[in-house]
Structure 1
Amino acid sequence: LLRQAREERHRPSDVVVHVSDALVPTVTVEDVAEALTDSRLMERIGASSVLLGLIDNGRMELVGSNGVHEGLIQDFHLARLSEPLPLTEAARTREAVFVTNRLDFIARFPALTPYMSQFPDAAAAVYLPLIAQDTPIGAVGLTYEGRASFPPDERTVLTALGKVIAQSLQRALLYDQEHELAAGLQTAMLPGILPHVPGVHLATRYRPTRARGGIGGDWYDALTLPDGRIAVVVGDVQGHDVTAAAVMGQLRIALRAYAAEGHPPSTAMARASAFLAELDTDRFATCLMALVDPLTGMTSVVRAGHPEPVLRGPDGSCAWLDTPGGLPLGLNTPGGQPAYPVFETVVEPGSTLVLCTDGLIESRAEDLDQGRERLLDALRAGPGQPDALADHLLDTMATYTGEEDDVALLVLQRSRGKASPAPRMEAVISPSDPDALRNARIALREALHSWSLEALSDTAELLACELATNALVHTDGSATLTARPVRHSGRGLRLAVSDTSTASPRRRAAPERATSGRGMMLIEELATAWGIEPRGNGKTVWCELSLDLV
Structure 2
Amino acid sequence: MTTRTRPIPRWRIGVGRAVVPAHRIRTALAAMLLLLGGIAVVGTLALPATKPPELVPALVYLVLIGFVTHVGGRRAGIIALVACAVAFDYLFVPPFHHLHPIGSGEGATAPDIETLVAFVVGGLAEVELRARARAETHRARLLGNQMIVLASVSERLSESFDYERTLDEVARLSAMAFDGFCVIDLIDDDGTVRRVAAAGTDARRDVLAQGLRRYLPDLASADHPVGQVIRSGEARVVPNASAAFLARFATSSEHAELIRKLGARSIIMAPLIAKGRTVGALVLATGSRGRYGDAELDVAEDLATRIALAVDNARLYQERNYIAQTLQRSLLPPHLPAIPGIALDARYYPLLGGGEVGGDFYDVFPIGPETWTLVIGDVCGKGPDAAAVMGVARYTLRAAAVYEARPSRVLRTTSDILLEQDTDQRFVTAACARLRPGEGRARLTIAVGGHPLPVVVRASGEAAFAGEPGMLLGVLPEPELTDVIVDLDPGDFIVFYTDGVLDERHSGAAGGEARLLALLARCSGSPVQVVADALDRFLLGSRSKLLRDDAAFLVVGVSAS
Residue of structure 1 equivalent to 2:317 = 175
Q: Which secondary structure state, in structure 2, belongs to the residue aligned with residue 220 of structure 1?
A: strand
Larger radius of gyration: 2
Q: Corresponding residue for 2:189?
A: 56
With normalisation by structure 2, the TM-score equals 0.59
Asked if 1:149 is matched to 2:291, the reply is yes
- Match for residue 406 of structure 1 among 547, 550, 556: 550
In structure 2, distance between residues paired with 1:391 and 1:364:
11
After TM superposition, give the deviation of residue 367 of structure 1 in Å: 2.4
Q: Structure 2 matches for 1:87-486, cutoff 5 A?
A: 91=230, 94-96=233-235, 105=246, 108-111=249-252, 113=254, 128-141=270-283, 146=288, 149-210=291-352, 212=354, 214-261=356-403, 263-279=405-421, 281=423, 282-294=425-437, 295-310=440-455, 319=463, 321-332=465-476, 336-346=478-488, 348-349=490-491, 353-362=494-503, 366-372=507-513, 384=529, 392=537, 395-399=540-544, 402-407=546-551, 409-414=552-557, 416-418=559-561
Task: Decide whether aligned partners of structure 1 residues 324 and 64 sit closer, same or farther in structure 2, where only a CA change above 3 A counts.
Answer: farther
**Backbone CA RMSD of aligned residues:** 4.6
Is residue 22–residue 36 contact of structure 1 (8 Å, CA) maintained in 2? Answer: no
1:130-177 residue CA offsets vs partner (Å, 9 max, x unmatched): 112222123345566846632231022101211122223323333333
One-letter amino acid of the structure 2 residue matched with residue 58 of structure 1: G
Return the letter of the residue paired with 2:448.
R
Q: Specify the SS of the correspondent of 1:299.
A: strand
Q: Using the alignment, how far apart are the partners of 1:318 and 1:87 within structure 2? A: 69
Segments of structure 2 that go 5 or more residues without pairing to the other structure are: 1-133, 201-205
- Per-residue deviation at 1:223? 0.6
1:412–1:72: structure 2 CA closer, same or farther, 3 Å change rule? farther
Q: Hey, what's the Cα distance between the residues in 2 that align with 1:392 and 1:242? A: 29
Q: CA deviation at 1:235?
A: 0.8
Higher strand share: 1
The answer to whether the 8 A contact 2:504-2:548 is kept is yes
1:359 CA displacement: 2.6
Distance 1:122 1:107 in 2: 15
Q: Is the 8 A contact 1:354 1:411 kept in 2?
A: yes
Give the letter for the 1:323 counterpart. Answer: G
Percent identity of paired positions between Structure 1 and Structure 2: 26
Change (3 A) 1:80 1:280: same
* Contact 1:297 1:346 (8 Å CA) reproduced: yes
Structure 1 residues 117 and 331, CA gap change in structure 2 (3 angstroms): same
- Quickly say closer, same or farther: Cα 1:218–1:89, change in 2 above 3 A: farther
Letter paired with 2:434 = L
Give yes or no for contact 2:172–2:199 (8 Å, CA) kept in 1.
no
**2:169 aligned partner, one-letter code:** T
- Please tell me whether the aligned partners of residues 496 and 554 of structure 2 are also in contact (alpha carbons under 8 angstroms): yes
Cα contact 1:200–1:412 (8 A) shared by 2: no
The offset of 1:416, in angstroms, is 4.6
Distance 1:277 1:323 in 2: 25
Work out whether residues 314 and 348 of structure 1, in 8 Å CA contact, stay in contact via their aligned partners in 2. yes
Is 1:16 the counterpart of 2:150? The answer is yes
How far apart, CA to CA, are the structure 2 residues paired with 1:12 and 1:121?
21
CA contact (8 A) 1:34 1:64 kept: no
Q: Which runs of 5+ in 1 are unaligned?
A: 419-550
Tell me, yes or no, if the aligned pair for 1:38 and 1:66 is still in contact at 8 Å: no
Task: Name the amino acid aligned to 2:151.
Answer: V
**Residue 37, structure 1, aligned to residue 182, structure 2:** no
CA apart distance, 1:345:
4.1
Shift of the alpha carbon at 1:287? 0.6
CA contact (8 A) 1:286 1:305 kept: yes
TM-score, L = length of structure 1: 0.60
- Secondary structure (helix, strand or coil) at the match of 1:263 reads coil
